[in-house]
Amino acid sequence: MDAPKQLEKIGRYQILERVGKGGMGVLYRGFDPVLDREVAIKLMLTDFTEDTEQMRPRFYREARAAAKLNHRNIVTIFEFAEESNTPYIVMEFLRGTPLGARLREEPPLSLDDKLNIVAQLCDGLAYAHEQGVVHRDVKPDNVFILEDGSVKLLDFGIAKLTSSNLTRQGDVLGSASYMSPEQVGGSDSVDGRADIFSTGVMLYELLTGRKPFEAEAPTAVILKILKDDPPPLETYVQGLPPQLVAAVMKALSKNPDDRFPKADAFGRELQLIRRSLPPAGMPSELEETRYANTQMIKQIHQDLQKLRDDATVTPGTSTAVAQAARDAIGAAAADAATPASSGSSWVIPTAVAALVVLGAGAYFVFGTRQSSPPATQTATAPSAAVTTPSSSPAVPPAPPAPTTPAAAPDTSAAPKAADVVPAAAPRPVAAPVVPVSMAGGYPFEVLDGGKVLSPASAAHDFKAPAGKSLVVSAPKYFLRQTVRVDGSPTRGFDWTAPGLGKLDVRSAQETCDVVIGDRKLGNPPLVIPEIAAGQYRVDISCAGEVVKSHYATVRAGQTYVAAIK
């Protein structure tokens, strides 16, 4: 079914503009007058006019499953409904850049950025798979990077909503290059491991700039997915960590059983690989906390708790925990001394985790016993608290209380409550404050969320926490870019605004408007004499409807001619 050419309203939602069109439907930016907010509305290319009494119930059954997903890395769905027998989906409206477009922008993503994006994606996938929902169409165009650097996965569950009875039998859904062997083979047992394969394809493309299975025709691509191994990553890029190469190839295994069993396992592996990357100006003592997330901290505490549970609660328990931690560190150090191999991805993280366990074990050894000495004593004093059962106590035990009918039973043989103290919650480590210097050949302002951190100027000097995402904005020059603060207190962070180029827009639709972002610029042909270098989506809008789009890459000091036919 062809979507309506012009719409002013869908349900209760007012249509503000048409954003784009894809294989599953037409996307609009709309406004919800009831809740006073912007929304995204996808009018799907499915018609219930000839309902077989199976399509509509299945659609809403799958829609309810997708709408239950509530995760920071998944776009939020507000409503599923129908308009003239055509179903539509109402979602949160996002501001940022699709990953597919970001790959063509300057500056290029760093290796750390790429791993961070895919790790966030894995978090969202793992949550959805736990809820029994498989995406089935993971690809860069369905991954959205918000202005603060966080990642949102789009169209979650929509591929499944439009499958089976909702499409013609035999249709192949999704983009062929990103589909798993079981998907292109028509298997009925597609599960979350198909999304892991697609995520592996996307990571391969992020690292090499090429898809692992490329051919001129979709059928040839499908044959490669089913039969051929992807070219080694080293063919296109050198110097990648061996454990990263191993992780990508594991995700791309033909057999689902050979892949990561769950998406969160894939994500954790990528986060651990990020930890092994050389720090970008961050003090070594803070590097351990840089990638600490809730799940990783929880896993470390579970490992520590297991050590404690395995030991008997006796005066020697603390020694057992500490010794186990030392053994773990020794084993990790021995592994670290050997050359890296495909199975060594846990070497550095294991050493770090062992240090954490040892530190926590030391807490139980020195910090939880009532007889521990004051901090003013010498460093050797705490060791006196760690004694074997045969050691003589330093202070004679107090005589037992007289036994009376009302006295409590004698529990002197039982462990004292003071000997067993729960692990203290990890104290958050504040990010170091970094001197920031920003400059450019024109004035721009620096934003922190919705607040102006530094007003418009050609030069800025201020301080911000390391890892902070800021937005630099110069509407006159079409600049709006997210910048992540790096560096350290002793080595500041410097950033230079992109230079200015020229954009020349030409189109045969001379009565229509040229639109960049949310700005209507007039009829073509037109020239923007000064525009910040970067990539822009240039739309041709006729009567409020986008009829043509073009991605323009502007370079400093050069003129880009956008000829939109």
Secondary structure of 274-328 in HEC code, one letter for each residue: HHHCCCCCCCHHHHHHHCCCHHHHHHHHHHHHHHHHHCCCCCCHHHHHHHHHHHH
Residue pointed to by tokens 């910048």: 483
Identify the band that residue 251 occupies on the pLDDT scale cut at 50, 70 and 90: very high
What span, in angstroms and rounded, lies between the C-alpha atoms of 190 and 137?
A: 12
Neighbours of 286 (CB within 10 A): 16
CATH architecture of 9-92: 2-Layer Sandwich (3.30)
What span, in angstroms and rounded, lies between the C-alpha atoms of 46 and 68?
A: 22
pLDDT in tens, 500-529: 999 999 988 888 999 998 899 999 999 999
State the pLDDT at residue 413: 47
Identify the band that residue 302 occupies on the pLDDT scale cut at 50, 70 and 90: low
State the pLDDT at residue 381: 37
pLDDT in tens, 410-437: 444 444 444 445 555 555 567 789 999 9
Query: What does the pLDDT average to over 437-445?
Result: 94
Residue pointed to by tokens 């902070």: 468
Q: What share of the chain is helix, strand, coil (3-state, %, to 5)?
A: 35, 25, 40
Identify the band that residue 279 occupies on the pLDDT scale cut at 50, 70 and 90: low
The least confident of 95-109, 180-194, 275-289, 397-411 is: 397-411
- Which residues are registered as beta bridge partners of 94? none
Provide the token pair at 209. 């700039």
Q: By percentage, how much of the chain surpasses pLDDT 70? A: 66
Q: Rounded to the nearest 5°, which phi and psi values hold at 108?
A: -65, 155
Q: Rounded to the nearest 5°, which phi and psi values hold at 339?
A: -60, 150
State the pLDDT at residue 380: 38
Coil, strand or helix: which one is 352?
helix
Q: For residues 128 and 308, which has the higher predicted lDDT (pLDDT)? A: 128
The sign of the CA dihedral 79, 80, 86, 92 is: positive
**Closest C-alpha among 412, 398, 389 to residue 318:** 389
**Average pLDDT of the chain to the nearest whole number:** 75
Identify the band that residue 51 occupies on the pLDDT scale cut at 50, 70 and 90: low
State how beta strands 151-153 and 513-516 pair. Answer: unpaired
What span, in angstroms and rounded, lies between the C-alpha atoms of 249 and 36?
A: 47
State how beta strands 519-520 and 545-554 pair. Answer: unpaired
Q: With left for phi above 0 and alpha for psi between -120 and 50, is residue 522 left, alpha or beta?
A: left
Residue pointed to by tokens 């896993």: 299
The one-letter amino acid code at 400 reads: P
Return the CATH fold of 500-564.
Immunoglobulin-like (2.60.40)
What span, in angstroms and rounded, lies between the C-alpha atoms of 358 and 328?
A: 9
The answer, yes or no, to whether residue 480 has pLDDT greater than 70, is yes
With b for 16 or more beta-carbon neighbours within 10 A and e for fewer, the 308-330 pattern comes to beebeeeeebbbbbbebbeebbe
**Closest C-alpha among 241, 246, 64 to residue 157:** 64
State the pLDDT at residue 489: 86
State the pLDDT at residue 3: 44
State how beta strands 493-496 and 433-448 pair. Answer: parallel
Going from the C-alpha of 256 to that of each of 148, 184, 260, the distances in angstroms are: 34, 13, 8
Query: What does the pLDDT average to over 536-550?
Result: 87
Q: For residues 520 and 312, which has the higher predicted lDDT (pLDDT)? A: 520
Q: Rounded to the nearest 5°, which phi and psi values hold at 154?
A: -95, 165
Residue pointed to by tokens 């330093």: 394
The least confident of 58-67, 155-164, 237-246, 307-316 is: 307-316
**Closest C-alpha among 42, 139, 151, 135 to residue 100:** 139
Q: Rounded to the nearest 5°, which phi and psi values hold at 238?
A: -105, 155
State the pLDDT at residue 537: 87
Q: For residues 358 and 86, which has the higher predicted lDDT (pLDDT)? A: 86
State the pLDDT at residue 283: 40
Return the CATH fold of 96-276.
Transferase(Phosphotransferase); domain 1 (1.10.510)
- Which residues are registered as beta bridge partners of 304? none
State the pLDDT at residue 260: 97
Q: Where are the domains of the chain?
A: 9-92, 96-276, 292-366, 433-496, 500-564
Query: What does the pLDDT average to over 40-45?
Result: 85
pLDDT in tens, 128-185: 999 888 998 899 999 999 988 899 998 875 555 544 434 333 334 447 899 999 998 8
Provide the token pair at 271. 């986060």
What span, in angstroms and rounded, lies between the C-alpha atoms of 44 and 23?
A: 9
**Closest C-alpha among 428, 263, 242 to residue 346:** 242
pLDDT in tens, 345-401: 444 444 444 444 444 444 333 344 333 344 433 333 333 333 334 334 444 444 444
State the pLDDT at residue 106: 81
The answer, yes or no, to whether residue 327 has pLDDT greater than 90, is no
Enumerate the active-site residues. 137
Kind plus residue range of the DSSP H or E element containing 537: strand 534-542
Instruction: Give the predicted TM-score (pTM) of the model.
Output: 0.51
Identify the band that residue 200 occupies on the pLDDT scale cut at 50, 70 and 90: very high
Q: For residues 289 and 327, which has the higher predicted lDDT (pLDDT)? A: 327
The answer, yes or no, to whether residue 15 has pLDDT greater than 90, is yes
In degrees, to the nearest 5, what angle opens at C-alpha 183 toward C-alphas 180 and 202? 30
Provide the token pair at 229. 């191994």
State the pLDDT at residue 515: 92
Is 243 in contact with 340 (CB distance < 8 Å)? yes
What span, in angstroms and rounded, lies between the C-alpha atoms of 69 and 132?
A: 10
Identify the band that residue 259 occupies on the pLDDT scale cut at 50, 70 and 90: very high
What span, in angstroms and rounded, lies between the C-alpha atoms of 307 and 322?
A: 9
Identify the band that residue 298 occupies on the pLDDT scale cut at 50, 70 and 90: low
The answer, yes or no, to whether residue 120 has pLDDT greater than 80, is yes
State the pLDDT at residue 361: 44
Q: Rounded to the nearest 5°, which phi and psi values hold at 434?
A: -115, 135
The one-letter amino acid code at 529 reads: P
